[in-house]
A = this chain, B = another copy of it.
Amino acid sequence: MRLQDLSNEDIAALRAQLEREFELQKGNRLSLDLTRGKPDADQLDLSNGLEDTIAGNYIASDGTDTRNYGHIRGIPEARALGADIMEVPADRVICWGNSSLSLMYIAVSLLMERGIWGDGRHWSSDPAPRLITPVPGYDRHFVLTERLGLGMVNVGIDEAGPDMEAVRELAASDPGIKGIWCVPKYSNPTGCIYSDEVVAALAELPKQAAAEDFVVLWDNAYAVHDFEFPRKPLANLLALAETAGTADHMLLFASTSKITHASAGLGFVAGSDGTLAALEARLNASSVGPDKVNQLRHARFLNGRVEAHMAGHAALVKPKFELVQQILDAELAALDIASWTRPEGGYFVSLDVRAGLAGRIGELAAEAGLALTPPGATFPYRKDPEDRNLRIAPTFARLDDLKTAMEVLTLCVKIATLQDEMNRR
């Protein structure tokens, strides 16, 4: 029965029962964690074959000795791997470092200080440059943006992606709006895939923007992280941008972080000839070349079998996401006190509770030994204006721990909501 249809007495009785359950859970001295969007050990084991790929042969396909300096853009087969993941031509890819986040930091710094067009346009020449941040979104984008001195302007996101009407209006009306953060597939944390219409609109956006140095920052972190195969399609931003004449305003990022080993993988950035040259010049000032041995390991391990490899991840991850849905359905659906997403890939489920209660639920969960991503973390400045969004990261926990954690979480949601309801009535 829906909460709104329960009598005051029913609510008081239910609340008392749930609070007894909560005290019992506290007695169990749990130490559970739903904060970590990282693979578990079984997933990491899928890539241990990386260590066997060199086998005495360090020479890349173009004859490069991967053990020595040089090759800022990466070896051909590693660029081809990035191209496969990002669905762009290999000559539009730089493979560099172990982290796409590092490449994003470098790119946004460069956009602030110097630009990527070789003509003086750069963001810090504006007194208050800002980026559009679809929310809820990825906390590390927000931290990076704030650290680099950019402001943020929120727009909503639904199952088709960002609210493009709001995005266009912002971009068109204000030359201080310099770009937009996107996680286009299995978006963090909602799990949505941007619709073809949204991607097409993003490809056109730089032409409508008031800023002449507007950039779409396309963090395709979960490009191949589907639960079912063949993988779900995503419209091809770079191809659309080339048609639209906006390719110089697109920066695409990806990595193997949740494909192989989370910190020991490869980062990729894709763009136009001109913007890649600008990025290469920047990288060249700080590096004598990326770790090409690791590039070779990855290319030999993954090329031609990315989808088969990701199916191995899906076999481990999908049951966890199904369990999350089962418990959310069983515990919260009837009462109609929360809504949540049902991603078919990626790493997160986004749970929206009654406004004003996310922080309280985080406190209750902590009391019961369950760590949640701090409420607010999915918004810039850690501030969820409605205090209602919670991010669930199911991958790192074992299935039995995940079950307990979800039972505790839903218990906390119910208690907080019942308390709130009683206060209101």
Contacts and interface: CB of A to CB of B under 8 A. Distances in A.
A117 interface: no
Interface string A85-124: 0000000000001110110111001000000000000000
Contacts of A70: 263
A264 B98 contact: no
Interface string A306-338: 000000000000000000000000000000000
A264 B293 contact: yes
Interface of A: 36, 38-39, 41, 44, 47-48, 51, 54-56, 58, 65-71, 97-99, 101-102, 104-106, 109, 140, 143-144, 147, 257, 261-264, 285-294
Contacts of A66: 261, 263-264
Contacts of A290: 98, 263
A264 B105 contact: no
5 contacts: A47-B67, A70-B263, A144-B285, A257-B288, A263-B289
Contacts of A48: 56, 58
A38 B262 contact: no
Contact of A264 (B38, B41, B67): B67
Contact of A262 (B36, B44, B69, B97): B69
A67 B263 contact: yes
Nearest to A71: B263
Contacts of A36: 69
Contact of A69 (B58, B263, B286, B289): B263
Given A54-B51, A261-B68, A105 B291 contact: no
Contact of A263 (B109, B286, B288): B288
A265 B268 CA distance: 20
Given A264-B293, A293-B261, A102 B286 contact: yes
Given A101-B287, A264-B294, A291-B294, A65 B44 contact: yes
A394 to B, nearest CB: 16
A345 to B, nearest CB: 19
A378 to B, nearest CB: 17
Contacts of A287: 99, 101-102, 105
A283 to B, nearest CB: 9
Nearest to A37: B69
Residue among A38, A70, A105, A285 facing the most chain B CB atoms (10 A cut-off): A285
B263 A143 contact: no
A37 to B, nearest CB: 9
Given A48-B56, A264-B66, A294-B294, A140 B101 contact: no
B286 A67 contact: no
Q: Would you list the 8 A-B pairs with minimal beta carbon distance, nearest first?
A: A105-B286, A67-B261, A264-B293, A44-B67, A263-B289, A147-B285, A264-B291, A98-B291
Nearest to A105: B286
